[in-house]
Structure 1
Amino acid sequence: MMVWMINMHKVSMWGLGASSMICGLVSVLKLLSEKTNLLEWELLSLNSCSVEFVLIFDWVSLLFLCFVFMISSSVMYYSGSYMLGDKNYNRFMYLVLMFVMSMMMMILSPNLISILLGWDGLGLVSYALVIFYQNEKSASAGMLTILSNRVGDVAILLSIGLMLNLGSWNFIFYSYYLMDSEYLVLKSLIMLAAMTKSAQIPFSAWLPAAMAAPTPVSALVHSSTLVTAGVYLMIRFSPALEGSLSQSFLLIISCLTMFMAGLGANFEYDLKKIIALSTLSQLGVMLSILALGYPDLAFFHLLSHALFKALLFMCAGVVIHSVSGYQDIRYMGSLVKFMPLTSSYLIVANLALCGAPFLAGFYSKDMILEVGFMNYSNYISLILFILSTGLTVSYTLRLIFFSATGAFNLSSLASVSDEEITMTKAMTFLGLGAIAMGSILSWVLYPECYMICLSPLMKSMVMVVSVLGGFIGYMLNLMSLNNVLFSQMLYKFVVVGGSMWFMPFLSTKSISNLNLLLGGSSEKVVDKGWYEYLGGQGVFYVWSKISMSLYLSQYNSIKVFMKLFVLGLIVVSLLI
């Protein structure tokens, strides 16, 4: 049995790795030749509408698929060591492979009906993975995850009904011709679906809650699968957003999400939740630049972010394993002395997240910020962009300080080392990607550079804000002012900022209380009220009276016939 368990993750790694290489090569060929292949199967024809199963093979879908397979390959190999002692090892592996297949269907579908195979598959399998550890916390997190995503599923189903007017559900052909005057509701529903999948305000609570899943799942979900499905859908729908009212709404929502997540991560102490909030912040970056009219930049950041975010979660998994299952960063410290390789990957991934020069995140994030500064947008969006950039560097250096370079806070019995060779090998491949893939992607995707015209002040704004945010964040923790300031002077501010603006509370307890209140009222008024009167009890009462009347009429009693005769005379006299 052990041989099968070990071979399973190796076979998955080689299979997904080979698929990634093939998709990458074909994607580059498609990009150079500017060709697209479309496979179409007609399943059902109804009047002028035909229900079709469609697959699209262009450079966008194949390049994204290449990255999904590449990261999944590393995650599967990593899981071979991380999940080795789990009794449900095989079930975990099958669920992860189903998750990857659902994402593949989502990426390759330009049809709003066939996209449901991947879209619903992601929601269902993510629920199964979040509740994998089978405890009360996991069950609550799984229910919040699937119910939040179900809102987006309903929006997709409503969009399918609205697209019936177009005669086809191949949205990739119609997105250029959807005017606000006729299809504003359709665009709003698609945007709602993307907001739920990518956890934008007010659907942000499920993303940190999904950390109840095993760490390899978090590495896959937060890098290239579930949460990026909404961004990918909006990239495909981006021509329909140009000049639309929904575009401005998406810009404000994504900027607020970016700021809220960055603020919350600075007050969080759970290692996995800090990284989850950083994902939420970067999703806001992607959707905000997409709302400004640059879907290619959003796609570029989506790919580069996937590599170092998967690496970041893998490093977190190794650290959690080594420190006896702790996730609180206050119980870590000085890991750079005991785990130099893992700490190096952790620091590289964090610096790439900040946009440190010449790492993967720099090429996409720096260009996004400069294009955002150059674009015509309101002051609120500009200020939120600047604040979010500083907060990103602040919580990143805070994480590095508490976990890697700060004082040693582990117990004396802790055995911390880089001895997990399988995990280290999986991280090495993504570590190279986090260093070099940003420049490679920029060469492939942008053979001609963007023309960016900024004043010296605005040009240096990105670097100034990053350095200032990092300095403030690091010094507050270095001087131990964090606890003093936040526990006494700014307690209320910390409670609001650190609780994601009460969204977890609003998404769980308040809705549960409201459902209980409405359920009690409906039970009294409907179930025990009108349903009883007009439903089974009412029908029983009417039929019992009718049967009793028939029973009495069969007695041949003169009293009954006299009453009926008198009643008939009265009715006739009234009619006359």
Structure 2
Amino acid sequence: MCKIYFFFFMMLFLTFFSLSIYFLMLDYFFVIEYNLLFINSMLMSMVIFLDWMSLLFMSFVLLISSMVIFYSEEYMYGDLNLERFILLVVMFVFSMMLLIISPNLISILLGWDGLGLVSYILVIYYQNIKSYNAGMLTALTNRVGDVALLMSIAWMVNFGSWNYIFYLKIMFNDYCMQIISVLIVLAAVTKSAQIPFSSWLPAAMAAPTPVSSLVHSSTLVTAGIYLLIRFNEAFSTNLMFFMLFFSMMTMFMSGLGANFEFDLKKIIALSTLSQLGMMMSILSLGSSDLAFFHLLIHALFKALLFMCAGLIIHNFGNMQDIRYLGGLINHLPLTLCFFMICNFSLCGLPFLSGFYSKDLIVEVMSMGYLNIFVYMIFYVSVGLTVCYTFRLSYYLLFGTYNFTSLSLMAESNILMLKGMFGLIFLVVFSGSLMMWIVFTKPMFIFMSLMMKIMTLIFILIGVFIGIEMFKINLSYKFCDSKLNVNYYLGSMWNMPFLSTIFTYKRLLPMSGIYLKFFDQGWIEFYGSKKLVSEFVGLTIFMQWLSKNHFKIYLLLAVMWIFCLIMFM
């Protein structure tokens, strides 16, 4: 079953990729519209919008998902519900594709809610209490964005159609469009886990690793960014400054948090959060093409990074704590080579794929008229990325082997390695290749030598600090105080605590009071119980009437005759 979907997705990938190049060269786009319903001048229709951007993104989603499905066959080997797992992954991919090709808010909502529902099912796939908690946090956080999208659909009624793509430029200064833009940004911020909705992304690591590979590369978290790229023409200057501030804070917070984390998958999840912050920040500076470019490049190396992490976890008997790892270059050399190439690409080392997008983002930001706060946060975040990457690399490569001595480490997972081989060449070469495709006109950025090498300086500082952190072995001080600096930085500025306990600690007792005094009290007495008693009484009366209808008829006839005699 895995191989069937693998070949099917690969054929679709080749078709869509060649079509995207063709559409880009000839500047084509297709709009396919099917009218469903017409109510009071409101047209509800199913619309498919095919241009080079949607086709290119779909081709990347299909490529990564085909490799992930191929990889899952061995990773999930022995699972009793493997077919159900693969079908859920396929549903996940098709929900994302529906979202990509939709220029209509109604059809976007179908894909958007499809992603939310299937992601919840996949997060609780391993049925234990941790998975259930993570699934509820994921679902309820994303529900805030779903409500914002529903409200934007309601506001779009003012334009007579839900095809937002026709109104972005024309209605730029319109009050309704400004409200819709704010709601769309709120929806995208929840889906892409920006502050203050960041806590669900590391929690979603409870899902199987192939799902994490798909979620953190080309689906779910990138859905919000893609929606913002499509909507970017309608954003006002103030809204873009608002997005810039929160995305930079997300980038900085996740970089700090990853340096104090010991869970292998959570470190990679926090790096995804950092890159999402970078995409949203450059998008809010007006470079939507550059955000899309980084979105594609990041999808490739992040998918492979999770695949490598999954193979390590698989060989270590589902153990994810990096303090137990070490010296893996002797046991899993090929996996660690792939892992390090992806890490270097994530850091933006010349001349891997991540360098072409990340360095360009930093240089475009440096060319803008921005204050020193934005400038320094950007560069410090780049340094923090390198810092936690090299800390992780040292724990895996050069540390002492801290796992049980009765273990057999060997790269015998042939299918998993084949799935990883499918992406490694793209991780190395896709940056230079995609630059020719996405940017049809050459870009020239002129800066002083110091500004030009500023990125390299911060990368080297990050390498030094990451190695030193490994030597010092900074760890949590597990104490009750939430004011402890290590705890505060490692727990994403107490955001998981604020999202869970802080939210329901006051609301849960209030809901209990409401249940006791209202739902099971006065409302029940005057609501459901009162209705039941009234209806029962009315039914008894009607039943009495129906049983005695002849007697009542005669009585009414006598009364009618009596009235006639009296009044005549």
Q: TM-score, normalised by structure 1?
A: 0.90
Cα contact 2:201–2:269 (8 A) shared by 1: yes
Q: Structure 2 CA distance, aligned partners of 1:194 and 1:289?
A: 15
2:487 partner amino acid: V
Q: Structure 1 CA distance, aligned partners of 2:51 and 2:275?
A: 25
Out of 188, 205, 212, the residue aligned to residue 211 of structure 1 is 205
Q: Partner of 1:168: helix, strand, or coil?
A: coil
Cα contact 1:324–1:414 (8 A) shared by 2: no
- Residues 58 and 525 of structure 1: CA distance in aligned 2, closer, same or farther (over 3 Å): same
1:539-558 deviations in whole A, cap 9, x for unaligned? Answer: 678899999xxxxxxxxxxx
Q: Structure 1 CA distance, aligned partners of 2:364 and 2:431?
A: 17
Q: Structure 1 CA distance, aligned partners of 2:330 and 2:125?
A: 34
Q: How does 1:23-62 map to 2 (within 5 A)?
A: 23-62=16-55
Cα contact 1:205–1:503 (8 A) shared by 2: yes
Cα contact 1:486–1:494 (8 A) shared by 2: no
Q: Does 1:155 align with 2:121?
A: no
Residue equivalent to 1:224: 218
Cα contact 1:332–1:410 (8 A) shared by 2: yes
Cα contact 2:478–2:487 (8 A) shared by 1: no
Residue equivalent to 2:496: 504
Q: Structure 1 CA distance, aligned partners of 2:418 and 2:75?
A: 13
Q: Structure 2 CA distance, aligned partners of 1:539 and 1:122?
A: 41
Q: Does 1:324 align with 2:356?
A: no
Cα contact 2:210–2:307 (8 A) shared by 1: yes
Cα contact 2:177–2:234 (8 A) shared by 1: no
Q: Structure 2 CA distance, aligned partners of 1:481 and 1:110?
A: 50
1:235-259 deviations in whole A, cap 9, x for unaligned? Answer: 0001011x43211111101000001
Q: Structure 2 CA distance, aligned partners of 1:385 and 1:57?
A: 34
Q: Partner of 1:501: helix, strand, or coil?
A: coil
Deviant stretches of 4+, over 4 Å: 483-487, 537-547
Cα contact 1:180–1:244 (8 A) shared by 2: no
Q: State the shift of 1:528 in Å.
A: 4.0
Q: Does 1:129 align with 2:118?
A: no
Q: Structure 2 CA distance, aligned partners of 1:76 and 1:61?
A: 22
Cα contact 1:197–1:230 (8 A) shared by 2: yes
Q: State the shift of 1:470 in Å.
A: 1.4
Q: Partner of 1:120: helix, strand, or coil?
A: helix
1:123 partner amino acid: G
- Residues 470 and 124 of structure 1: CA distance in aligned 2, closer, same or farther (over 3 Å): same
Q: Structure 1 CA distance, aligned partners of 2:432 and 2:151?
A: 41
Q: State the shift of 1:526 in Å.
A: 1.9
Cα contact 2:260–2:490 (8 A) shared by 1: yes
Q: Structure 2 CA distance, aligned partners of 1:84 and 1:192?
A: 39
Q: Partner of 1:393: helix, strand, or coil?
A: helix
Answer with 23-32 or 527-536: which moved more: 527-536
- Residues 521 and 17 of structure 1: CA distance in aligned 2, closer, same or farther (over 3 Å): same
Residue equivalent to 1:201: 195
- Residues 79 and 532 of structure 1: CA distance in aligned 2, closer, same or farther (over 3 Å): closer
Cα contact 2:356–2:432 (8 A) shared by 1: yes
1:295-337 deviations in whole A, cap 9, x for unaligned? Answer: 0000000000000000000000000011121100010011111
Residue equivalent to 1:422: 415
Q: Partner of 2:105: helix, strand, or coil?
A: coil
2:73 partner amino acid: G
Cα contact 1:339–1:418 (8 A) shared by 2: yes
Residue equivalent to 2:267: 274
Q: Structure 2 CA distance, aligned partners of 1:82 and 1:33?
A: 42
1:150-179 deviations in whole A, cap 9, x for unaligned? Answer: 111111111011011111111112112332
Sequence identity percentage: 51
Q: How does 1:171-250 map to 2 (within 5 A)?
A: 171-176=164-169, 177-179=171-173, 181-241=175-235, 243-250=236-243
Q: Partner of 2:494: helix, strand, or coil?
A: helix
Cα contact 2:155–2:176 (8 A) shared by 1: no
Q: Partner of 1:451: helix, strand, or coil?
A: coil
Residue equivalent to 1:69: 62
Cα contact 2:260–2:476 (8 A) shared by 1: no
1:449 partner amino acid: P
Q: Structure 2 CA distance, aligned partners of 1:546 and 1:465?
A: 81
Q: Structure 2 CA distance, aligned partners of 1:514 and 1:504?
A: 16
What runs of 5+ residues in structure 1 fail to find an aligned partner? 1-7, 548-576
Q: Structure 2 CA distance, aligned partners of 1:360 and 1:523?
A: 56
Q: Structure 2 CA distance, aligned partners of 1:48 and 1:540?
A: 42
Q: Structure 2 CA distance, aligned partners of 1:178 and 1:117?
A: 26
Cα contact 2:477–2:487 (8 A) shared by 1: no
Out of 477, 488, 493, the residue aligned to residue 485 of structure 2 is 493
Q: State the shift of 1:529 in Å.
A: 4.1
Q: State the shift of 1:181 in Å.
A: 3.9
Q: Structure 2 CA distance, aligned partners of 1:172 and 1:400?
A: 44
Residue equivalent to 1:482: 474
- Residues 451 and 166 of structure 1: CA distance in aligned 2, closer, same or farther (over 3 Å): same
Q: Partner of 1:500: helix, strand, or coil?
A: coil
Out of 284, 296, 307, the residue aligned to residue 291 of structure 1 is 284
Residue equivalent to 2:300: 307
Q: Structure 2 CA distance, aligned partners of 1:150 and 1:484?
A: 32
Q: State the shift of 1:453 in Å.
A: 2.6
1:398-430 deviations in whole A, cap 9, x for unaligned? Answer: 110001222221210121121111011110111
1:9-68 deviations in whole A, cap 9, x for unaligned? Answer: 111111101100110000000000001011100000112220010001100000000000
Q: Structure 2 CA distance, aligned partners of 1:81 and 1:239?
A: 45
Residue equivalent to 1:556: none
Q: Does 1:87 align with 2:80?
A: yes
Cα contact 2:476–2:486 (8 A) shared by 1: no
Residue equivalent to 2:253: 260
Answer with 171-180 or 38-47: which moved more: 171-180
Cα contact 1:255–1:288 (8 A) shared by 2: yes
Q: Does 1:412 align with 2:405?
A: yes
Out of 330, 352, 356, the residue aligned to residue 359 of structure 1 is 352
Cα contact 2:325–2:396 (8 A) shared by 1: yes
2:494 partner amino acid: F
Q: How does 1:131-146 map to 2 (within 5 A)?
A: 131-146=124-139
Q: Structure 1 CA distance, aligned partners of 2:456 and 2:420?
A: 29
- Matched pairs, number: 538
Q: State the shift of 1:537 in Å.
A: 4.4
Answer with 414-423 or 452-461: which moved more: 452-461
Q: State the shift of 1:481 in Å.
A: 4.9
What runs of 5+ residues in structure 2 fail to find an aligned partner? 540-568
Q: Structure 2 CA distance, aligned partners of 1:372 and 1:156?
A: 30
Q: Does 1:518 align with 2:510?
A: yes
Cα contact 1:42–1:53 (8 A) shared by 2: yes
Q: Partner of 2:106: helix, strand, or coil?
A: coil
